[in-house]
Structure 1
Amino acid sequence: MTDSNPRALRSSAERPASTASGYAMLLVLLLAILGFAFSAPLSDDMIWAVLGMAASGLVFLFVLLGFYLLQPNQAAAILLFGEYKGTDRNTGLRWAWPWLIKKKISVRIHNITSERLKVNDLRGNPIEIASNVVWRVADTAQALFDVDDYREFVHIQIESAVRAIGSRYPYDDFTHEEITLRGNAEHVSDELRAELQERVEMAGVHIDECRLTHLAYAQEIAQAMLRRQQAEAVVAARKTLVEGAVGMVEMALEQLSQKNVVELDDERRAAMVSNLMVVLCSERDTQPVVNTGSLYQ
């Protein structure tokens, strides 16, 4: 069954409320006090004196019940018998009709650090991830009336967004061909902010900043992944070393040939290549060897 009321399908939207400055109403309150105090002395008739005092008392009570106070970065949603009438963002002493309900809400900046969540990254490796989120209420009407508890809503959406981003990328990539959680922190943080902003938009909340505060492999695979990282690092280093050594050997042979330093046949060329590769790729210092014979003996 669908709701035929089109207003029920729309989200709330903040609008200014019709309120007054409380300082101006203080003058009315003072006049009510003076009227109450001087009603009896200024009237010879007791009935009129009582009526004047009663009227002054009612005005005093009426004005007094309309006062409310708003601190900086605080707002008040004004309700009339459950109907939203607007939001007052003016700070200081304010006044509105006594029968209006004022629901105060903070529009200050909030800071939340999420708990460490265990998530499987893009490659299925379990990781621990946590984030820090800076947010504030941008639309008081949506925050108060479109969700049951906007603070709890934001907490839940932060957890959901962190899980979604954590599973969207791999933890690390030694080939540097993919966007990773560890290697592209700025990109991941920006995408987390966009993901979270989309989720909390309906609650009238604005996300100012998101940052990952904790990122690590889960304890059950931390040692294994550390050994894997070390092995991949060694392989990557060896690959770079061999590529550099081959280039240096090629350059050495080319310059020896161009400058006619020595004539090398295939066997001598192979021996020199072998010796240079050993020297360049070895992890230990080379030991000089003086050859007193012939290469062919």
Structure 2
Amino acid sequence: MIEILTSSTLNTIQDFGRPDAISLGVSRGGAMDRLALAYGNILLGNDPDAAGIEVVFFPFRIRFDHATSFALTGARTAATLDGTPLPPDWAMQARPGQILTIPAPTAGARCYVTLRGGVDVPQVLGSRSTDLKGGFGGLAARALRRGDRLQTLPVPPLSFPATGYGLTCPTPLPDGGDVVVRALPAAEYALFAAGSQDRFWGRPWKLTPSANRMGYRMEGTETLALDSPVNLFSHGILPGTVQVPPAGQPIVQMADANTCGGYPKIATIIEPDLRVLAQTAIGQSVRFIQITRHEAVEAMRLDARHLHALACGIDTLRPDLAPAISVTS
């Protein structure tokens, strides 16, 4: 069991979400950086989609009431366990009473705390993820608060070297320059004026403070416009959809995206780079790069190969975890 000592809005329990419930009008949800969550789980021998804690507001502190194996992945921070610095993407064994402190990131925007066995909260529509908009899932359908106590699912304990262990994670993090995000033209792309198409791909866009798990509003020096006005019925949308409302500034749908909308769609961000955008800090500059469908499929396959390589690396480092790992290429 762990106790939350400090927390804030949007620090929530997340797994891989509810992709099978989109047809019911339920957001996919889940971790904004699914690769980082999966890596933390692999380090502990959990299923890659076991529920963990997504940390967005800092500092974040938890106390371990029992001996607990945990991993910290995602954004880079100067995290400590009872004052001892932790390397990035690292798994450790915490003793009863020890306190994990996670300060504001130095790179990236979201951290993931995973626990051996995964966080034990009820499943709703096949997922333990918190849906703040829908008001279900996670712990009482809300963000974590000071004093909350979380249990893990029962699994055999792990033996740990005193200093813990980790492997290099391929999760890219924004480094302060322009964040490059790959995307495909979307359904209404051809309806946009040629100049607007060029501006979308060729100009930087700033991530505004109007950014949450539902969507990211981008801001540019020039606006985007259609060749002529068009009326659209509301239609299905997914995380990664880039819509352009009448104001001409794009909105990127994120993990908790609505399942339908009526704004014209100019592009769709590929899944591997939606994770990169999720790790982008407010105010950073983003550039959209057009790729082909073939390149998008290859990028997704590369993500799967990265996870498989991580699982194989942990298999070599920790053969005792091999039966628990279920990642395929």
TM-score by length of 1: 0.22
TM-score by length of 2: 0.21
Q: Which has the larger radius of gyration?
A: 1
Larger strand fraction of residues = 2
Larger helix fraction of residues = 1
Could you say which structure has the greater relative contact order, defined with CA pairs below 8 angstroms and 6 or more residues apart? 2
